[in-house]
Structure 1
């Protein structure tokens, strides 16, 4: 159960990070480097619990590489918008310089968040997701509130050894 509790926020972090790539105006398939920094305003973890420096749950920036395929761009505008968990983007609005929308989760994590993303020529972007809700922790629901800010940089057309996330069936 402990591993599952840890994967729920990780999945939400991955999904939120992938959303910023989905919003980019300069869609290019290839390798992207994403640096995310998550902060908890209300954490489900025991008070005083220190996160490792490279943890996506906070404790400092977390950098990862994502491979975006042309099929992802054609179907979703970027990587699959939901990588783990029961979260999705609703009410998405795109403009010439960014996008915004609601981040809605149901299941082990319930609540809503606001997504704002801006991008720059060449594939760079910056996004922020602020989420408020509850997380199921065993038999009880625990209030959670977190913010994740992510920047991405297009690294090139060759993904090297980084494999793309599998696409869900249509």
Structure 2
């Protein structure tokens, strides 16, 4: 891995941390807050690809695990990895990989802007919404004993916001593809 790749991984980990400064919103009916950090995960996958995007999230998770308050709401430490919303944190790694992998396979420099943006959106929804929510629902059902149907119904409240985040990530991915294409330069 080159120095450039390490800098990009660190930069996008910092972006995810910065998005955590936006205060989380608790819905009350499910123990998982609404926050902006999943947008950073989608951005890492869309812009950097599978390998670098996954390393970005792994670095972010390491920072949280050693106790730095990098998670939304200023949380950090090993305890957050056992809480009910932890499945979504584990899902971040899967989300970054799936989003990045699909972006690498679907998007090429020769495509029109609309096609690129559409594929970025599909990749962000597949990874950042479906894959992340799958991990979150499974963990939530396991830890809280809610059962899969109740955990699934609870996560549906987050889907519209996450689809909006996927749209933002798609626009950002398209803008980066035009101005400074990082995705085609696979690590």
TM over 0.5: no
TM-score (norm 1): 0.29
Structure whose residues are more often strand by fraction:
1
Structure whose residues are more often helix by fraction:
2
TM-score (norm 2): 0.27
